């Protein structure tokens, strides 16, 4: 598969542009601060005492300031959802960039770790130099109390030293618990250690108090290096006396040093306040418990939950975060909405698959396990549903399905949930959107999974055929496991059974076919499913296409 420049630029161009800008900003900041400290007149004496360690540590500190302020911004989810929603402010290209907000957060986090290592190493060298090159000429410049003071004492008895050690420990805890392995197996460890960030930021803002590094304030009156010229002029008295007095300037007074005042709060306080406001807003918004209206059990371990909440509105494709104190007080789990509230119907619903202990316990609270002898006669019993809190809705890439002329939605198993909401919206009224054609590919392991949304698919199909747009909705269903039941026998699901294919889909042929029917158009590809499918599709979208169609890849994923 040859990568075509046009497809690659359409898919990856925006992301890489932002990456280049970010790298450029970091490099510029690093070089600027490095040159300031190595060539600046006000740092001349300090540079002589500490050497390169001074420049590297200060340059990495400024890069750390930038990244510590940027790392919070992609995590303001409500703000990003709002930006995604206002089409006036953002174009489709900007909204596509918002999909990668978590990746940007990780990039800034990695930069913080890397530059912390550089910063700490440089400062360790500085501390050794403070102790070894204790300056007798300028006592105000020293951090050590006497020549040869043990560097460990310097670290543990100054504010920058102790706060630095604490910051490194917190960063170490946060970094080691955010690996993919720990997140997948024990999300709580990741969540609780990552919430130590607030302590990290508070300590960061007092890190510079105490003023370890000082700059000279009276450069005109005491040009750096003039002590030496005064001394050398007394040595070579006769000939150069007049010359040196004229050229090098006069030392009118002693050098006067002043520590920097802390600057980190200038960088960090804005995003930190924004993030705290956002968390507070989310807490207030989710403090209203929701009313559970219906619970339906579907085949293959899927439960559908319909709920009602005051002042709740959502767009198709968005997701919510559930918290059930009856199961666990602090765990929050994201689920995509499968039905959004409309003018006619105020309830919204999710489909959740029972895998893992939270969902199992939650299902047990919702639906007590059926007793065998009561299966024949269903009894209506009064059920007391558990209390449930909902945070959201939050934006996701699948909201863009309506903003392309042609869209291809690929779903794997339970990944069909964002598209189910899209299909419900089309069922309510398909004429109002920019979307002219939708290709829907759903791959499942077992045939029973298709029954989750069989009625919705058939209803949409019939409606579009009745309204004379048979080419609007193109459905393909694939059953990937070849043993087991392989056909849907019900008469009402005839449109589905005639579009059911056995085996895995051949993506290249599919994209070629779509490309032939939609020449020179921009097709939005939306994938929500296992990594294998999304990787293959991504590669295919980046590769050359003879029909001139551009495929823009959008992936939906959690954690």
Partner 1 sequence: MGQIEWAMWANEQALAAGLILLTGGVVGVAGQFRGWQFAAYAVAAGAFVCLLEYPRSKRAKGTSVARTGQYCFTVCVKAFGPLTRNYYVRAFLHAAICVPGGFMLATVLGCVCLGIASLIYLAAAIRGEHWEPILPKKETRKPVAQSIKNPPQNPPPRPPAELRRKQAKDLEAAAYDNPMPVTLDE
CA 235 to chain centre: 65
- Return the number of the residue (82 or 172) whose C-beta is nearest partner 1: 172
The binder of partner 1 chosen from 180, 247, 429, 509 (CB under 8 A): 180
- Return the number of the residue (62 or 177) whose C-beta is nearest partner 1: 177
Binding of partner 1 by 558 (CB under 8 A) = no
Q: How far is the CB of 240 from partner 1 (least distance, A)?
A: 40
- Return the number of the residue (357 or 467) whose C-beta is nearest partner 1: 357
Q: How far is the CB of 173 from partner 1 (least distance, A)?
A: 7
Measured CA angle at 68 (ends 284, 274), to 5 deg: 25
Write down the H helix ranges in 387-466: 417-428, 454-466
Binding of partner 1 by 332 (CB under 8 A) = no
- Return the number of the residue (270 or 356) whose C-beta is nearest partner 1: 356
CA 513 to chain centre: 34
Q: DSSP state, 396? A: -
Binding of partner 1 by 489 (CB under 8 A) = no
The binder of partner 1 chosen from 110, 169, 199, 374 (CB under 8 A): 169
Cα R_g (the chain), whole angstroms: 32
Q: How far is the CB of 450 from partner 1 (least distance, A)?
A: 13
- Return the number of the residue (65 or 177) whose C-beta is nearest partner 1: 177
Binding of partner 1 by 172 (CB under 8 A) = yes
Q: How far is the CB of 77 from partner 1 (least distance, A)?
A: 24
CA distance 248 to 474: 83
Given the DSSP bridges, would you call strands 522-528 and 406-412 parallel, antiparallel or unpaired?
A: parallel
Residues 103-122 that bind partner 1 (CB under 8 A): 120-121
In whole angstroms, how far apart are CA 166 and each of 159, 170, 173, 207, 272? 11, 6, 11, 10, 19
- Return the number of the residue (92 or 361) whose C-beta is nearest partner 1: 361
The window from 90-98, 175-183, 389-397, 548-556 that contacts partner 1 (CB under 8 A) reads 175-183
**At 297, is the secondary structure helix, strand, or coil?**
strand
Find out whether 523 and 513 touch, Cβ atoms under 8 Å: no
Binding of partner 1 by 52 (CB under 8 A) = no
Question: Quick one: residue 134, left, alpha or beta (phi over 0 = left, psi -120 to 50 = alpha)?
Answer: beta
Give yes or no for a cis peptide into 197 (omega within 30° of 0): no
CA distance 72 to 112: 12
Residues 363-402 that bind partner 1 (CB under 8 A): 375
What residues line the site for partner 1 (CB under 8 A)? 120-121, 124, 127-128, 151-152, 155, 165, 168-169, 172-173, 175-177, 179-182, 184-186, 188-189, 299, 328, 357, 375
């Amino acid at each position: 598969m040859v990568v075509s420049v046009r497809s690659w630029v359409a898919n990856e161009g925006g992301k890489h542009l932002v990456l280049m800008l970010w790298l450029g900003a970091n490099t510029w900041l690093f070089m600027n601060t490095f040159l300031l400290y190595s060539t600046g007149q006000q740092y001349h004496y300090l540079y002589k005492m500490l050497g390169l360690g001074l420049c590297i540590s200060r340059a990495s500190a400024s890069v750390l300031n930038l990244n510590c302020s940027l790392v919070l911004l992609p995590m303001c989810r409500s703000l990003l959802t709002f930006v995604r929603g206002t089409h006036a402010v953002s174009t489709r290209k900007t909204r596509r960039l918002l999909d990668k907000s978590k990746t940007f957060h990780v990039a800034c986090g990695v930069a913080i770790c890397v530059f912390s290592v550089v910063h700490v190493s440089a400062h360790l060298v500085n501390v050794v130099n403070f102790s070894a090159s204790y300056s007798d000429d300028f006592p105000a410049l020293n951090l050590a109390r006497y020549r040869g003071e043990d560097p460990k004492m310097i670290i543990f008895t100054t504010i920058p030293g102790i706060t630095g050690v604490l910051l490194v420990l917190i960063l170490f805890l946060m970094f080691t618990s955010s690996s993919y392995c720990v997140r997948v197996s024990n999300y709580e460890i990741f969540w609780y250690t990552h919430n130590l960030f607030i302590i990290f930021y508070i300590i960061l803002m007092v890190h510079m108090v105490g003023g370890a590094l000082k700059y000279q304030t009276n450069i005109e009156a005491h040009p750096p290096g003039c002590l030496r010229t005064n001394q050398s002029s007394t040595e070579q008295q006769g000939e150069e006396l007049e010359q040196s007095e004229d050229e090098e300037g006069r030392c009118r007074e002693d050098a006067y040093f002043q520590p920097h005042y802390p600057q980190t709060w200038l960088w960090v306080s804005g995003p930190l306040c924004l993030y705290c406001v956002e968390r507070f807003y989310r807490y207030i918004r989710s403090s209203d418990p929701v009313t559970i209206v219906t619970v339906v059990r579907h085949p293959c371990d899927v439960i559908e939950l319909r709920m009602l909440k005051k002042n709740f509105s959502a767009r198709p494709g968005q997701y919510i975060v559930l918290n059930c104190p009856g199961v666990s007080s602090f765990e929050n789990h994201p689920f995509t909405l499968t039905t959004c509230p409309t003018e006619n119907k105020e309830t919204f619903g999710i489909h959740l698959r029972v895998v893992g202990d939270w969902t199992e316990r939650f299902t047990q609270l919702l639906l007590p396990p059926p007793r065998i002898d009561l299966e024949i006669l269903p009894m209506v019993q009064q059920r007391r549903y558990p209390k449930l809190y909902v945070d959201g809705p939050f934006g996701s890439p699948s909201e863009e399905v309506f903003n392309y002329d042609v869209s291809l939605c690929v779903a794997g198993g339970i990944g069909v949930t964002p598209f189910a909401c899209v299909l419900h919206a089309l069922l309510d009224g398909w004429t109002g959107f920019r979307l002219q054609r939708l290709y829907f590919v759903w791959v499942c392991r077992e045939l029973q999974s298709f029954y989750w949304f069989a009625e919705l698919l058939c209803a949409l199909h019939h409606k579009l055929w009745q309204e004379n747009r048979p080419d609007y909705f193109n459905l393909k269903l694939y059953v990937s496991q070849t043993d087991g039941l392989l056909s849907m026998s019900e008469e009402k699901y005839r449109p589905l059974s005639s579009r059911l294919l056995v085996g895995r889909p051949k993506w290249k042929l599919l994209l070629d076919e779509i490309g032939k029917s939609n020449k020179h158009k921009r097709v939005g590809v939306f994938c929500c499913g296992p990594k294998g499918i999304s990787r293959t599709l991504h590669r295919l979208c980046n590769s050359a296409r003879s029909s001139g169609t551009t495929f823009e890849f959008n992936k939906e994923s959690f954690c």
